Amino acid sequence: MKADKAAIVILGATGDLAQRKLIPALDLLYQQNNLGEGTILVGSGRKPVSHEDFKSLFNASKDFEKQMFYHQGIEGLWDYLKTKGEFNRIIVFLALPPETYEKVTGDLAKEGFGEETFLIVEKPFGRDIETARHLNRTLTTHFREDHIFRSDHYLAKEAVQNILIFRFANSVFEPSWNNHFVESIQINAFEEIGVEDRGAYYDTAGSIRDMIQNHLFQLLCLVTMEAPVSLNSEDIRNQKINILKNLRVVNTYRGQYEGYRNEKGIKENSDTETYAEMELRIDNYRWAGVPIYIRTGKATNRKGTEIGLKFKHLPEILFNQGGNLEPNKIIIKVQPAEGILLDLSGKIPGMNMEIVGTKMAFCYRESFNQNIPEAYQKLLLDALKGDRTLFVSARETETSWEVIQPYLDTGDVFIYRKGSCPKTSFGDIWIDFSQYAGFC
């Protein structure tokens, strides 16, 4: 389904997000004939830039460049759009710092943007529960809640979208997806890079705000939620909210990589965490008693985001008489190489009954002979269609902040060596996700 006669307005169109992600995604959608007839892109920023100079900032296709225009600032933007024709849907993407949202949404409303307008806003949605509530009140003062798309690009990754398919379209997994069989759930999100040029922002946020409260909690919800009654966005969101309402933090530890305080934009003696790990519980019948571990960090020894379900150990009989068999695992590789692995035990070919770990891998790029869409392609196209399934509601954001609020900026921060995997405070519990790096 295409949204014909749509105008896509990017506020902050000369910034990094537009150049790296948004314009390339829209260009690909246009080349794939996914943008409706008469759809245009209008970039807006503070600088006076000609249409041609604006187009030269991007490596867009020549045909798509014909649909690209530039307007300086918000004042007069509504009247400028009207000179380009009548539009059935107007998408305004706020590629701006969140602290500008209150003024910008007010300015948009004054200009005349109303019922035909849909907003896309980027995380972070606040920095604690009070600022999140204030932001949601601000947005809904001028625009309806069902016209606000809170973007979490992790939800548009192919491996993440496939979680629900994997769980609810395969009857082999559902009977064992509970506390009777699962020993622990683990979510790992590591980056090799440090804060780079994001120091000024990152020092006000840290790993818990930047990753756990949004991206990783969303992954956790999809892995643990009950089956929705339909694929309607509200039904899916209600199940995710039920998980968040029953989510409880047991322990939190924070770390900071060596040399962080010397990075550009970082305050002297900053105690902002660049690494965080949490132990959580979901207090419902399906997951009662199952520990959930989340960890995320910058400047570590590897890049990768994975979800692991570790199943309970076999009793010490038959092939496990010595208790040495590794438990089965399901590994969902979110990035950089999407895939799902089953870690099982099998027999080594030969005359003896020797057992070895074996892995069954479903790899996206090997299984499907087509390009995997980039996350922002999916998000922008869904917004044009009015599909809010992969976007986050106000209730989700506020409930997530309520869970994590008591653990923000609390506790000591240990130092770990840059380029290393920080030593965990939870003991020998973590799945070694690095062993799956060669798959997919």
**Over the stretch 56-74, which tens digit does the pLDDT of each residue have?**
999 999 999 999 999 999 9
Q: Is 150 helix (H, G, I), strand (E, B) or coil?
A: strand
Measured in whole angstroms, the distance separating CA 203 from the mean position of its chain's CA atoms is 20
Q: Is 367 helix (H, G, I), strand (E, B) or coil?
A: helix
Q: How many helices (H) and strands (E) does the chain have?
A: 15, 16
The C-alpha atoms of residue 332 and residue 57 are separated, in whole angstroms, by 37
Amino acid at 277: E
Q: Please, what is the average pLDDT of the chain? A: 92
**Over the stretch 234-269, which tens digit does the pLDDT of each residue have?**
999 999 999 999 999 999 999 999 999 999 999 999
Query: Hey, which CATH number is domain 6-122, 2.60.120.10, 3.20.20.80, 3.40.50.720, 3.100.10.20?
Result: 3.40.50.720
Across the beta sheet with 355-363, what order do the strands follow? 355-363, 339-347, 329-335, 304-311, 182-190, 292-297, 275-282, 247-257, 413-416
Q: Where in the chain is the domain with CATH 3.30.360.10?
A: 155-370+393-436
Amino acid at 355: I
Q: Is 26 exposed, middle or buried (0-12, 13-18, 19+ CB in 10 A)?
A: buried
Q: Kind of pairing, strands 413-416 and 182-190? A: unpaired
At 282, phi and psi to the nearest 5?
A: -110, 115
The C-alpha atoms of residue 46 and residue 57 are separated, in whole angstroms, by 15
The C-alpha atoms of residue 400 and residue 338 are separated, in whole angstroms, by 26
Which position has the higher pLDDT, 291 or 439? 291
Going from the C-alpha of 175 to that of each of 41, 196, 345, 371, the distances in angstroms are 48, 45, 20, 33
Percent of all residues in the chain with a pLDDT value above 70, rounded to a whole number: 98
**pLDDT higher than threshold 60 for residue 1:** no
The third-level CATH classification (topology) of the domain covering 155-370+393-436 is Dihydrodipicolinate Reductase; domain 2 (3.30.360)
Q: Is 201 helix (H, G, I), strand (E, B) or coil?
A: helix
Q: Where in the chain is the domain with CATH 3.40.50.720?
A: 6-122
Mean pLDDT of 318-330: 84
Residue 369 pLDDT class (50, 70, 90 cuts) = low
Whether residue 215 lies in the annotated active site: yes
Q: How many CB atoms lie within 10 A of CB 267?
A: 12
The C-alpha atoms of residue 168 and residue 236 are separated, in whole angstroms, by 13
Q: Kind of pairing, strands 89-94 and 247-257? A: unpaired
- For 239-291, the DSSP string reads HHHHHHHTEEEEEEEEEEETTGGGSTTPPTT----SEEEEEEEE-STTTTT--
Q: Among the options 71, 134, 215, 313, which is catalytic?
A: 215
At 183, phi and psi to the nearest 5?
A: -80, -45
Closest to 201 in 3D by CA, of 134, 284, 128, 127: 127
Closest to 266 in 3D by CA, of 195, 197, 203, 196: 203
Residues with Cβ within 8 Å of residue 112, at least 6 apart in sequence: 78
pLDDT for residue 105: 94
